[in-house]
Amino acid sequence: MYIFDDSDKINKLRAVTLMHGIKLYLKAGIQPSRQITPTYMRNAASHYTGKKYKRGAKGLQDALSDLRAIYPDHYGKDSQPTRLRETDVGEGR
């Protein structure tokens, strides 16, 4: 278990989670939850970057780019998500 005991670590976790949510919405059109709307994601990104973003996909794409610039080591431009191996999942589950 990992304990987030520092507000900087908590903010970094929130920003990385936000990046994943924005990417999910842009690629598949899926909101992470009912409360996490595109407007909420733009406003949350503004909290980290200090910029105001336009409505629509362009604004979310700009927000994602800016967040990636702030946190390049967490889901940067060239990083790929880790894929599970079949041995990790198990057969017949």
pLDDT band at 88 (very low <50, low <70, confident <90, very high): very low
Portion of the chain with pLDDT greater than 90, in percent: 58
**Rounded distance between C-alpha atoms, residue 91 and residue 31, angstroms:** 31
Residue 69: domain span: 7-76
Q: What's the rounded mean pLDDT across residues 51-77?
A: 86
How high is the pLDDT of residue 6?
A: 78
User: Would you say residue 15 lies in a domain?
Assistant: yes
User: Would you say residue 85 lies in a domain?
Assistant: no
Query: Quick one: which of 68, 64, 61, 42 has its CA closest to 53?
Result: 42
**Rounded distance between C-alpha atoms, residue 13 and residue 44, angstroms:** 13
User: Would you say residue 86 lies in a domain?
Assistant: no
Sequence-ordered list of residues with C-beta below 8 angstroms from that of 48, at least 6 positions apart, any chain:
11, 15, 18, 66, 67, 70
How high is the pLDDT of residue 7?
A: 83
Structural domain count of the chain: 1
User: Would you say residue 2 lies in a domain?
Assistant: no
User: Would you say residue 83 lies in a domain?
Assistant: no
User: Would you say residue 68 lies in a domain?
Assistant: yes
